[in-house]
Amino acid sequence: MNYSFSELGKQLIKQIPYGKVATYGQIATYAGNPRAARQVAWILHSSSRKHNLPWHRVINSKGRISLPPHRGYEIQKKLLEQEGIIFEEDGSINLDTYLWHITDY
């Protein structure tokens, strides 16, 4: 059975454990297209609501939230902090500590 990139990406996002985060590129890589990071953002836009995806656990490669202020940034930060994730002074997250490894699953 051939699952679409979006379908796989959606499944992967659902698997991100509580208290962990994943990057767009990481999801894209696991879904089979290392260069399709942009599509991951698209998945979140189109499916996070109807499929109950833990969208707040997806951040960019720099370990920072990609949402602009007043466009969800504050909300995402709050949700992550509620899961025990600590933000650095510059607003980034220590990926060595919080990045999800597929092996954790």
Partner DNA sequence: AACCTGACTTCGG
Partner DNA sequence: TCCGAAGCCAGGT
Where does this chain bind DNA (CB under 7 A)?
4-6, 23-25, 28, 33, 35-42, 44-46, 48, 55-56, 58, 60-62, 66-68, 72, 76
Within 8 A by CB and 6+ apart from 52, the residues are none
Q: Which residues contact 78 (CB under 8 A, 6 or more apart)?
A: none
Query: 19 or 32, CB closer to DNA?
Result: 32
Q: Which residues are within 8 A (CB) of 76 and not within 5 positions of it... i.e. 6 or more apart?
A: 55, 56, 65, 67
**In the complex, minimum distance from the CB of residue 54 to DNA, in angstroms, rounded to a whole number:** 9
Q: What φ, ψ does residue 10 adopt, rounded to 5°?
A: -60, -45
CB 104 to DNA: min, Å: 19
Q: How far is the CB of 24 from DNA (least distance, A)?
A: 3
Whose Cβ is closer to DNA: residue 55's or residue 98's?
55
